[in-house]
Structure 1
Amino acid sequence: MDRRPTILDVAARAGVSKSTVSLVLKNSPQIKAETAARVRRAMQEVGYVYNRAAANLRSSSTGLIGLVINDLRNPFFTEFAASFQMALFARGYATVISNSGEDAAMQAAIIHSMIEHGVSALAISPAYGDVTSTFDQLARANVPTVQVLRQVSSRTDKFPFSSFDFVDGGGQAARHLIASGARRIAFVGGLEGRQITAERMSGYLSEMQRIGTEPIVLYGQPSRNAGAELAQQIMREHPQVDAAICFNDLVALGMMNALEREGQRVGEDFRLVGFDDLEESAQSLPPLSSVSCDITSFGEKTASSLLDWLTKGVVPPATHRQSVRLVTRASSGGRGV
């Protein structure tokens, strides 16, 4: 036989049906001992090898976890995905990872496909948009699902949410800049109307209110290009601004490049703080101050809590916020830091 033997070959050799062979493979008590012996003998004769792992994946996908990320091009989300996947691998689970590209319709199709392929559990950093039907489908399928980093469903009893204390992070950054002598501080980047933007900006707004200063907010895409453009806008329209808290490190790095090109010495003439503390931020010139979120440990803890839900029935808390800390470097602490 040139091809790999199949269950049909075993059935033909043993003179039984395909379903009988399947029941023998599952050690079903419905099959008489003599019939089971004949089937197993036929398996040896035709050289059939039962792939139990593949059968498990077909029947229930035990050991297969789904991960849907809104933007894998962003290093922050990539680092989370890597730590999540590695933590699952260490405990014997495989991960299927998909990027929704900030597209709610694509996200829905991806999740539908994952459910069809029988993932045992799912973690999702969701795209924004109309997601009601998607989460309804997950509820019907009874797939343990956690929302991470972004919350789009309010049903946290069914879809627990975990992220970071971004509000406190924004407050830490603002207090640091105030203490460093900054006179006018702006919040730069992030899309208006998004919960994640509001969270990261909230601590800043509270501190501006505390010191009686009118906030200056410039919205934009969370990217380097947007950061560079927003830096130009600040220099053109708000020349009094001498410090900024950025929605993320990508925006801050884009701002830094644009400011330096215009002769502004970041850390001296203009102070910058980012969010996420990407690895690149410590290597920039000057090194970028940033609100550190320890995304690696977050990925590991997310994997652990999801597996505890799946294997022990321990449902994660409805909402969990991991603490953050400000890492001060030369971009806000002066070139001597």
Structure 2
Amino acid sequence: MLRDSHPNKSITIHDVAKAADVSKSTVSLVLQGSPLIRDETAERVREAARKLGYVYNRRAAELRRQASNTVGVVINDLMNPFFAEVLVGIERRLVDAGYIVLMAHTHESLDRQRKVLASMREQNAAGLIICPAFDTPRTLTKEVQAWGIPLVVMVRSLGAGSYDYAGSDNERGVLLAMRHLLARGHKRIGFLGGRSGVVYEQRLRGYAGALEEAGIRLDERLIIASDPSRQGGSDAMAAMLRIKLKITAAVCYNDITAFGALATLGEHGLRAGTDFALIGFDNVLAAAHSNPPLTTVDIRPDDLGEHAAAALMARIENPQLKRQVYLAEPRLVLRQSG
């Protein structure tokens, strides 16, 4: 139930949000006339504002929305060294241009992502760079654009849209890895790690496409899904070894999955590169120093971060730019594991 305020109290947007049982960002969108909020929610917010006597100061809101020198960067998994290296590239480019980088880690939580984005909006961020958490709705880009904040999506695409994007050619990257293994005579090749999402689907297409090129029928049993983590890679490799289908090689969803797979091979008395061929994806710095050094698909993470930052700065400078898309061209780095 909506509550009347004390007559002497200075009413704020926080009070309206509390009375209407919504977030401050929702109240702000309603008061700005945004079409993104459902009618019943918008009416509840307006009723709360009327009851509390809140008057929306549009001029003050416009002043608050003036660009700052702070850029928000939202990372889904900072435990993965790939994203740490991407962040280095982003920071290098933005700091050199005089921006302050405000970083947040969502740990794949949609609720946390929503909260950090709302906070960055309230901090009047000049722009946002985000690698979306799993299952992020495609409407996120339109919502942020409605805030008037320049946005770049990186690594994980959110499908068709007008937003700027920086990522890699995932399908071609896995295709290169598979062609290498097939040329070395491997016929039973697995795919380890990942579960869902655009990146996973693109990398699987590269896997399936290479098999089709070679005239080899895809065997679903050779695709072992797991969390894209060390533990996920370890568990996926253990599952692959248990099925005893004479698998001699595997491409991993990413390098951190491959590190877990390397450990499990060792626990079973097998060595990558001698007993089993293993290829990662990303080429994080640690890949050159694993045991054995990891063959991987290089998409130059820090360079990708720099391109994401450059796209955001271009968008801030000129909001009318046509859509910017950067796809890192993958290249295979041969080391001992594959």
Same fold (TM over 0.5): yes
Identity across matched positions, percent: 30
Name the residue aligned to 1:268: 274
Distance 1:145 1:164 in 2: 18
- Residue matched to 1:201: 204
Unaligned runs of 5+ in 1: 1-56, 333-337
Give the Cα separation in 2 of the matches to 1:153 and 1:199.
12
Q: Distance in 2 between matches of 1:68 and 1:299?
A: 12
| CA radius of gyration, larger in | 1
- Give TM-score, length-normalised by structure 2: 0.77
2:334 is matched with which residue? 328
| 1:83 pairs with 2:76 | no
SS in 2 for 1:273: strand
Does the 8 Å contact 2:141/2:151 carry over to 1?
no
Residue 337 of structure 2 aligns to a residue in which SS? helix
The answer (yes or no) to whether the contact 1:128–1:152 under 8 Å persists in 2 is: no
Deviation at 1:138, TM superposition (A): 1.2
Question: 1:313 Cα deviation (Å)?
Answer: 3.9
Q: Determine which structure has greater relative contact order: mean sequence separation of CA pairs < 8 Å that are 6+ residues apart, divided by chain length.
A: 2
Residue 153 of structure 1, CA deviation: 5.2
Residue 291 in structure 1 maps to residue 278 in structure 2: no
The answer to whether structure 1 residue 106 and structure 2 residue 112 are counterparts is yes
Out of 237, 240, 254, the residue aligned to residue 243 of structure 2 is 237
Q: Which residue of 2 aligns with 1:145?
A: 151
Structure 1 residues 1-337: aligned runs within 5 Å: 60-131=66-137, 134-152=140-158, 154-155=160-161, 157=162, 159-191=163-195, 193-215=196-218, 216-313=222-319, 315=321, 317-332=323-338
CA distance in 1 between counterparts of 2:301 and 2:201 reads: 20
4+ residue runs over 6 A deviation: none
* Partner Cα separation in structure 1 for residue 165 and residue 111 of structure 2: 21
Q: Retained in 1: the 8 A contact 2:226–2:235?
A: no
Q: Is the 8 A contact 1:70 1:102 kept in 2?
A: yes
Number of equivalenced pairs: 273
**1:317 shift after superposition:** 3.2
TM superposition score normalised by structure 1: 0.77
CA drift at 1:198: 0.9
Equivalent-residue separation in structure 2 for 1:236 and 1:116 (angstroms): 51
